[in-house]
Amino acid sequence: MPDVPIGDAARAIGVSQDTLRRWDRLGKLKTRRDARGRRLVSSKDVERLARRPQRHATGVPLSARKRFEGTVRSVEQDGVMALVELEAGPFLVTAAITRDSVDELGLARGVTATATVKATSVMIERGGR
């Protein structure tokens, strides 16, 4: 495969040309110059750096990927809100949803349901403390 101009390589990898120049200086990839002095990146490096890890598919047209299927353990309704606790394997997920949603979905103890989590931040606490 032929070498690729740095601009095309940057677009294929999803970074800027400056980033590729920096990676060249750091040895992360090797560029060479053609007869006109333009920087070229090897096709192998472009292919290697453009690879993305395979993400799991959820099978539903929804952007959220954290899905916990389980059984409703409890439903507590108070006014217009409700707390629904779902047992999903070793996990307990509690969701605050509207009372109307509980009624519309037919949520009650023992019903199978799926909790979908979409969050911009996830916090992790170290165990054993």
Q: Which domains does the chain have, with CATH numbers?
A: 4-50 (1.10.1660.10), 66-117 (2.40.50.100)
Query: Is the predicted pLDDT of residue 93 greater than 70, yes or no?
Result: yes
Q: Model pTM?
A: 0.51
Binned at pLDDT 50, 70 and 90, residue 126 comes out as: confident
Percent of all residues in the chain with a pLDDT value above 90, rounded to a whole number: 65
Which residues make beta-bridge pairs with 113?
70
pLDDT value of position 56:
67
Binned at pLDDT 50, 70 and 90, residue 53 comes out as: confident
Query: Is the predicted pLDDT of residue 55 greater than 80, yes or no?
Result: no
